[in-house]
């Protein structure tokens, strides 16, 4: 069976790839880990290495560079700015997830969620809304700045991570590089040779991407469910592929052997992983803090952006307590401003700035080109002789690759159901090629951007997923499960894990993320990508950020 290889794994990298020696990177990560642990131990909302405390932000509230957010694009940008010696402040609306609760764990699991699970919700909102039409996955919880948020926009809801590390804290760790042909289709103006020769390898190396041991996969309990789905796909003439991950597969082996604490095998996925996952706080962000030039301020939400007559920017920032109350309203100045708050956050900031007149020269492309990455979730009923087992790894490692289908291209993650019992269920998150795009408008009453997306726009995704899995069901004499999504539907496309677009590269920005109409204002996250990558998008976001900040540092005179 084919393995989706990490570009650069088996051939020399471009001379541009190794920015810093590995020993230097390791030292920086160590310094960064020390800063994170110290901040957690002292309950601080400002995280920095000792030498950065005075240099990143002056007493006047001004920083040479500000990065909004701590997700993939933001983390890349902060590291490269720090390496270039530029004092940089990162503003994160969530908290630092580095302190154990009363149960001795930083994160809660999916079977016993508590207030740590969700961002200021009274009840958890898991993607599987029901089982046998009963709401068994969710619980009432106290409101708290939890790690996962579900932002609701009528016909579409979006899952996003909240905390230092953003989406890396709550995703399934699937580190997939898109097919080159499709990358060239969605971003035709970006040099694919450069991306696949330099920036994808650079991103994969820095993220800590690794591959599962195929021999272990064939015999382990953890992926019996994936082997069952592989057999079902093969009967339908479909191919499956192993998928790289930022979860440490060697650690996972030890989890199954019982020699280390369990995480992926302890129903830990969407509310965070206590072990094993190489989230951004363990890779890019740790290295960024270790440069001594980067400071992270947690529980700091940016609400507005103003450009001064001298070309600098002033941010209105709300500092919040863990009960959600605003404890301080601040202004922070910056010469260079990088938006890395994600497809929702960055887009809202610029839509608000344009419509309220604080950045009136933003063009009409701001808020356009948003998509769901074609996400559709579905389940199939398993036969008694094809059960997935009660022990299931929460980190997917296999996908059905039907992207070359000329009519209905689909890449379908073989997803786990880590319920700790046999569920008679095979679950999938299908990624489809849906040309429909949404857009954002400004709602003055709530001072927020509202997504305009209708249920009918999701139909192409359902049609593509149904075309693929109808074949699987026919070949295996199985049926869809209709008890999983709170009603009788078999396909769930009212949410996405992969929001993309809103500030599309080459339209709202130039081809390197510079916002049109304003100097020294940049976008560095998934809002640059026009709605689709064909695979899980975080590697693409990371590589594109590496490319863009590389050019900005060379050409824009940052200092």
Name the residues annotated as catalytic: 413, 498
Question: Nearest-CA neighbor of 34 among 14, 12, 17, 52?
Answer: 52
Cβ-based neighbour number of residue 23 at 10 Å: 8
Cβ-based neighbour number of residue 20 at 10 Å: 14
Q: Between the CA of residue 227 and those of 160, 246, 258, 383, what are the distances in Å?
A: 29, 21, 22, 14
For residues 413 and 174, give the distance between their C-alpha atoms in angstroms, rounded to a whole number.
Answer: 9
Q: Does residue 522 contact residue 513 with C-beta atoms inside 8 Å?
A: yes
For residues 301 and 260, give the distance between their C-alpha atoms in angstroms, rounded to a whole number.
Answer: 37
Residues in the chain: 559
SS3 label, residue 491: strand
Q: Does residue 537 contact residue 526 with C-beta atoms inside 8 Å?
A: yes
For residues 168 and 157, give the distance between their C-alpha atoms in angstroms, rounded to a whole number.
Answer: 19
Copy the structure tokens of residue 526: 């998934």
- CB neighbour class for 452 (10 Å; exposed up to 12, middle 13-18, buried from 19): middle
SS3 label, residue 42: helix
For residues 39 and 242, give the distance between their C-alpha atoms in angstroms, rounded to a whole number.
Answer: 38
SS3 label, residue 351: helix
Strand pairing report for 491-492 and 375-381: antiparallel
What separation, in Å, do the N-terminal and C-terminal C-alpha atoms of the chain show? 49
**Distance of alpha carbon 224 from its chain centroid, rounded?**
27
Question: Nearest-CA neighbor of 348 among 438, 439, 440?
Answer: 440
Say which residues have a Cβ less than 8 Å from residue 33's Cβ, sequence separation at least 6: 282, 286
SS3 label, residue 106: coil
Q: Taking CA 306 as the corner, what is the angle to CA 301 and CA 312, rounded to the nearest 5 degrees?
A: 105
Q: Taking CA 263 as the corner, what is the angle to CA 258 and CA 266, rounded to the nearest 5 degrees?
A: 80
Q: Quick one: CA dihedral 446, 447, 448, 450, positive or negative?
A: positive
Q: Between the CA of residue 288 and those of 58, 74, 123, 461, what are the distances in Å?
A: 19, 11, 35, 38
Copy the structure tokens of residue 385: 């002789």
Say which residues have a Cβ less than 8 Å from residue 553's Cβ, sequence separation at least 6: 80, 81, 84
Copy the structure tokens of residue 79: 């590291």
């Amino acid at each position: 069976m084919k393995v989706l290889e990490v570009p650069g794994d088996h051939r020399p990298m471009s001379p541009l790839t190794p920015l810093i020696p590995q020993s230097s990177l390791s030292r920086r990560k160590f310094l960064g880990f020390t800063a994170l642990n110290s901040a957690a131990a002292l309950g601080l909302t400002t995280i920095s290495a000792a030498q950065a405390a005075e240099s990143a932000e002056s007493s006047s509230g001004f920083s040479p560079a500000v990065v909004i957010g701590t997700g993939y694009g933001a983390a890349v940008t902060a590291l490269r700015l720090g390496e270039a010696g530029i004092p940089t402040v990162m503003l994160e609306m969530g908290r630092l997830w580095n302190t154990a609760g009363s149960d001795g764990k930083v994160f809660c699991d999916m079977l016993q969620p508590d207030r740590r699970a969700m961002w200021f919700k009274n009840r958890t909102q898991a993607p599987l809304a029901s089982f046998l039409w009963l709401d068994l996955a969710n619980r009432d919880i106290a409101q708290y700045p939890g790690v996962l948020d579900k932002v609701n926009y009528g016909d579409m809801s979006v899952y996003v991570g909240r905390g230092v590390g953003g989406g890396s804290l709550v995703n399934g760790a699937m580190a997939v590089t898109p097919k080159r042909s499709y990358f060239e289709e969605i971003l035709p103006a970006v040099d694919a040779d450069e991306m696949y020769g330099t920036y994808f390898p650079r991103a994969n190396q820095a993220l800590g991407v690794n591959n599962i041991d195929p021999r272990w996969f064939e015999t382990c309990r953890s992926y019996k469910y994936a082997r069952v789905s592989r057999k079902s796909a093969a009967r339908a003439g479909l191919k499956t592929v192993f998928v790289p991950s930022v979860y440490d597969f060697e650690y996972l082996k030890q989890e199954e052997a019982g020699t280390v604490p369990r995480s992926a095998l302890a129903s830990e996925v969407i509310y965070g992983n206590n072990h094993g996952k190489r989230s951004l706080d363990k890779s890019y962000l740790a290295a960024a803090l270790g440069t001594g030039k980067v400071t992270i301020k947690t529980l700091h939400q940016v609400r507005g952006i103003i450009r001064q007559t001298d070309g600098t920017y002033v941010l209105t920032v709300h500092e919040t307590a863990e009960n959600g109350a605003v404890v301080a309203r601040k202004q922070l100045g910056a010469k260079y401003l990088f938006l890395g708050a994600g497809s929702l956050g960055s887009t809202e900031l610029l839509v608000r700035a344009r419509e309220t007149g604080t950045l009136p020269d933003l063009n009409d492309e701001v808020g356009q080109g948003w998509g769901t990455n074609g996400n559709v979730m579905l389940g199939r009923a398993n036969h008694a002789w094809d059960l997935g087992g009660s022990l299931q790894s929460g980190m997917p490692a296999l996908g059905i690759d039907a992207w070359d289908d000329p009519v209905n291209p689909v890449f379908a993650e073989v997803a786990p159901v880590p319920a700790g019992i046999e569920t008679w269920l095979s679950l999938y998150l299908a990624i489809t090629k849906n040309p429909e795009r949404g857009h954002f408008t400004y709602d003055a009453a709530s001072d927020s951007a509202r997504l305009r997306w209708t249920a009918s726009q999701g139909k192409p995704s359902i049609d593509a997923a149904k075309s693929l899995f109808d074949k699987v069901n026919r070949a295996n004499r199985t049926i869809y499960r209709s008890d999983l999504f709170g009603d009788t539907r078999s396909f769930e496309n009212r949410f996405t894990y992969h929001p993309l677009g809103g500030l599309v590269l080459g339209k709202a920005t130039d081809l390197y993320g510079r916002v049109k109409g304003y100097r020294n204002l940049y976008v560095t996250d998934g809002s640059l990508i026009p709605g689709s990558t064909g695979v899980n998008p975080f590697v693409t976001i990371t590589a594109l950020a590496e490319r863009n900040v590389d050019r900005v540092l060379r050409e824009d005179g940052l200092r």
